[in-house]
Amino acid sequence: MSLKFGIYLVEQRVISAEQFCGLVKIQQESSHTMATIALRKNLMTIKQVNNLLTQMETQTSISFEDLALENGMIDSSDLNMMKQSKEVSCPPIRQLLVECGLLTQHQTKVLLEHFEKNGYTSVQHKAASATMPKPNIGKTLAPSAKPAASMPQPKFQQRRPVIQRQPTT
Give 23: exposed, middle or buried? Use CB within 10 Å, 0-12, 13-18, 19+.
Answer: buried
DSSP state of 75: -
Lowest mean pLDDT among 38-42, 141-145, 160-164: 141-145
Assess whether 41 and 68 both reside in one domain. yes
Contact indicator for 38, 44 with CB cutoff of 8 Å: yes
Report the C-alpha dihedral over residues 16, 104, 31, 1, rounded to 10 degrees: -70
- Say whether pLDDT at 61 is over 90: no
- Regarding whether 123 and 50 lie in a shared domain, the answer is no
Q: Would 100 be classed as within a structural domain?
A: yes
Question: Is the same domain home to 82 and 45?
Answer: yes
Mean pLDDT throughout 13-25? 91
Domain that holds residue 44: 34-89
Say what the pTM is: 0.51
Measure the CA–CA gap between 36 and 56, rounded to whole angstroms.
15
